[in-house]
Structure formats: C-alpha cells, structure tokens
Structure 1
Amino acid sequence: MAPDAKRHKPNTNTTSKPGSALGSALKKKAPPGPVYEKGIEYWDKVDASVNGVLGGYGEGPVPHIEQLSSRLLLLSLIPSLSPFPNPLTPEPTLRPLPSHRRTVLDVGAGIGRVTRHVLLPLFDDVVLVEPVDKFVREGYRAASEGEWRDLPSGTSNDLEQKRRVEQQRQDIKDGKGRGKRVRFVKRGLQDFDPREPVDDQAEEVGLVASPKGEIGGEGGCIEDEVVYDVIWCQWCLGHMNHEDLVNFLRTAKKALREGDDHYIFVKENCCDDAPGGVGQEFLDEEDSSLTRSHQKWVDCFHEAGLTVVREEIQQGMPDELFVVKT
C-alpha cells in the first residue's frame, strides 16, 4: 500500500481541546497551511498507478463504485450529456448537439483516472492539469498509446481499437458524435487561471485526439481562451490554503460557460465540524494537505461567490476512510 494520503485517515472525533495546536484560543496566529513543495515531494514517492493514487484502494471495488457515482451525478445535473436513453435521461437523442465542443477541466488529475473513466465518455474535450511530473506523463502515455477506450489509437494492430476508431469516424459523419481530445498540462493550482491553462508556469505535455484530425464543433480545449461546461476538482484542493482555494474558485467561476447547466464539482473528504457546527480544518504534516469539515467547505464556497446546488455523500467506501462528499 502506498503511504496514507490525508483522505485515507480514519474519521475520528475531531473536537478541539483547549491548548491544542489547532483552534486554540491562546494561539494568535493562524494554523499552518499546506506547503506546496512538500505535497509534490510526497506524491513523487507514490506509484503512478490507480492503486498508488488511491492510497492502496485501487485494486478493489472502490474505484468502480466511486467512478459510477460521479457519472450518475453528472448525468442527473446535466441530462443532455447522455449519449443514449436511460432512466435519468429517457429522451436525450431528441436534443441536438450544441454547436460548441463540450469542455471540462480536470484539476489535480493525477494519472487521469477521473478523466478516463468519468469525464471523457461524456464530454468532447478535457483539459487535464496535474503538478506531479510522473503522473501527468503516465496519463499522456496511456492515452496516446490507445489504452483509454475513448481515445483509441489508429496505429494499433488491435482489431477492437480499429473498430472503435472507424465507429467514431462514422458517428462524426452522421452527426451523432465528435472526436475526443485531451490536453495534458503540468501545473499547480496556485495562481492558476483555467481560461489560460498553459501560461509561463505551465508545461504543455501533449494533446491526444481520436480520431486524429476529425473533430466536430466549435471551440474546445485548444482555444486561446478556454471556457468550460464543467470544472471537476477531486482529492486535490486540500493542498491549497484557504486564501489560494477561494481565489482559485473565484477564477474558476469566471471560466465557466454562461448558462444554467454549467457547474464546478468538488469531491473531497470531510472531517467533522467543530462544536456548534463551526467549520474547521486539520493539517496532515505527512502529505502537507488540509482536511476540511463540511461547514469549512461551505464557507469557502460562499466566500468565492458560489452557491451549493447539490450535495451527495459517496456510498460504498471503506469504513476507515473519511466521509467523501461531492
């Protein structure tokens, strides 16, 4: 098992005691916040695999349950994303594709697990942003070599991959779909503006598209100023202090496409609120990240000018983990 990440700590009683390092009335200075460099150093020691980024829980049912719940939540809020009829969207085919390419930002994306299994099947374009070098390069390698189902490689000798490429090309010609694209960017979230994902602090790792050169729709991930239908943040915002987090959320809000069905999703672990329902946060020195309580997250959202439209608890997670909320 990889070293325990902050999200994999037991959800024990978090009531502060007088004189404790965090929340003490005797302390006049703010609690220590995350150190960006220490967080990168921690994750550099973790395997660039699903099991590694999930702290040892990647080989059981956790990733499948978690991914399915995320996709169902997306479809329930944005029914038009569904490519086929289902109980959530019984008549999606009656709604024509929008003129623009549906674009999503995946921040702190690791090796691209969420992009690969949750976002890419539903969206046209993904901007994948990750600060850990070996993670983002492993994601790019897997996608460019055809290991991601929605980005099959046209150069592969595998018959199933060739069939998928031809099917995507036919769907584009028939107006039923569009080629997929993922833009891989190495960058942290401090001072990050999603509208300009590749700035002077970022490295463009690469763009993977399939079928190559056959793309339908306007805009998307390679525009000079990118706008998003959805911004997805999962298990990464704990590495930001309060001020940086609020600033990021404010900037992310400005990067959303105008309309009623465009959202910022935040999926993170939550500890308990302090007595009286007061928000609190605790620093994990090992990976230099904060675990925030429910109310602390709500405080951050409101300070950033965001409104919480839905809240869900992730079911099916091991009992020893913090509660996961979206």
Structure 2
Amino acid sequence: MEKGGLDSAGREFKNAEEMWREQVGDDHSKKTEWYRQGVGYWEGVEASTNGVLGGYAQVNEPDIMGSEAFLKQLLSERFPDAANGQRHLVVLDCGSGIGRVSKNLLIRYFNEVDLLEPVSHFLETARESLAPENHMISDTHKATNFFCVPLQEFTPEAGRYDIIWVQWCIGHLTDDDFVSFFKRAKDQKGLPVELFAVKMYALTTELPKKVHRTRSKVQANRPGVIK
C-alpha cells in the first residue's frame, strides 16, 4: 500500500515515486547533481566522531554496544567455526566515514576489513587511524582496502565478503540504486549464508502522520539482516 509523506522542506507527496520524480526524474544529470550535493554536505563536516555523528558523539558508545550484541549473535549462529580460528572472515564497511565502526567493532571480529567511503578526508582519517602503527589488534586483524567510491557506483568483489555491513548510509541512495546495490553485492561466499547487516533509523508505523518524535522515544536504530 502506497503512503504519502513530507520531505524535509515540508513539501507533500502522494507516494515515494512522486517524490523521486521531483528529486531526480529520468534526467541523469539531475540525479548526478543530487548525489553531488549529498557528498558535498559531508565534505564540509570535520573528520571526527562528533562530526560524522552530527554533533552527537555520545551516541558512539551505545551504538557500538548494540551493534556488537547483534554481531556476536550473528557470528555464533552463522560462523561458529570462526571462533576457534578455523575461518578467515572478511567484512565490507559501507559508508565507513572515519572508520568509527571498523575501528571500534569490526576489526576485532574480522581478519580483514575493507572500507568504502565517498568523502576523501573521512577515508584518509580512517586510513591513518587504522594504520598498524596506530591501531593494531593482532597480526591477523587489519584494515586491508580503502575505496573512495560512492555506494551507488561500487560493485563488491565476487566471493570476497562474509558480511557486508551497511550502517546509516543506505538512505543516501535512490530507491532504484538501493535495489541495484544489493543485486550487485549478492555474489558473495554462498549467499544466503553470507548476509547484509543493515542499520538505519526508522520510525515505527504506529506514529501518527506528520508527528515527529525524538529518536530516544522510538524503537528504531536496531541492526537487522536482509536476506
């Protein structure tokens, strides 16, 4: 069932299709500009935890704790042989920013972490932060590749990743590019055993239309698996 809604400027649309026609239409240059403006915003943000979290640096610790609980359950259910070192795990961190999630979480559980981020000064900060001389978990856990490429243009290497971690960035894609990314990324080590971990903020369906509530009052921002 189609739902209407408002954009951030208060304009009302009958459905998502109408909104996307207004934003990008069928004009490739208009779509390119839409993405350019999105990246342009983040290019003006400082490469720090406070910067990438929009001034809410205090969110970092509870976010990592929640993601770790989810990840530990996922690994124990799907990759039990990894706990005793019998499996070499590789993860792709999409929209990695300054490497906040890679550094505080993923690199502790995966042998290799690849980072994907379109904002160059974020990625360079991640590269420096995750360099062996600055952040060494062990010889068998490392950041391997740093891709400065937009998510909508990236195709994951076939068969490389055990988990593709997508946090707080999938909403920066158009609906068509959202679907296209998952189609391009599905050729991994025997899907559906290998999974996409997607973490987003979302309002519950019980909220009345046009009513805004703080994130702290909404049961949202829980990581989930897309099969």
Give the structure-1-normalised TM-score. 0.54
Gapped regions of structure 2 (runs ≥ 5) = 25-30, 208-213
Q: Partner residue of 1:50? A: 49
Q: Which amino acid aligns with 2:70?
A: L
Tell me by how many angstroms 1:262 deviates. 1.6
Amino acid at match of 2:105: V
What is the SS of the residue equivalent to 2:121? helix
| Overall identity of the aligned pairs, in % | 29
Q: Deviations over 1:19-60 (max 9, x none)?
A: x532269x69834257110011100111100010001111x2
TM-score of the superposition, structure 2-length normalised?
0.76
CA drift of 1:241 comes to 0.2
- Matching residue of 2:160: 227
Instruction: Kindly report which structure 2 residues correspond to 1:250-261, keeping only aligned pairs within 5 A, or say none.
Output: 250-254=183-187, 256-258=188-190, 261=193
Tell me the CA shift for residue 71 of structure 1: 1.4
Task: Give the number of aligned pairs.
Answer: 205
- Match for residue 154 of structure 2 among 192, 210, 217: 192
Match of 1:105 in 2: 92
Q: Which has the higher helix share?
A: 2
The secondary structure found in structure 2 opposite 1:30 is helix
How far 1:148 moved relative to its partner? 2.4
Measure, in 2, the Cα distance between the counterparts of 1:318 and 1:29: 25
Match of 2:211 in 1: none
- The whole-number CA distance in structure 1 between the counterparts of 2:161 and 2:184 is 12
CA radius of gyration, larger in = 1
The 3 A distance-change label for structure 1 pair 15 and 325 is farther
Aligned positions of 1:77-96 closer than 5 A: 77-79=74-76, 95-96=84-85
Q: RCO (CA 8 Å, sep 6+): is it higher in 1 or 2?
A: 1
What per-residue deviation string (whole Å, max 9, x for no partner) do you get for residues 289-315 of structure 1? xxxxxxxxxxxxxxxxxxxxxxxxxxx
Structure 1 contact 125–180 (Cα < 8 Å) conserved: yes
**Partner SS for 1:323:** coil
Q: 1:140 to 1:28 in 2, by over 3 A?
A: closer
Gaps of 5+ in 1: 1-13, 83-88, 151-167, 170-177, 196-224, 276-316
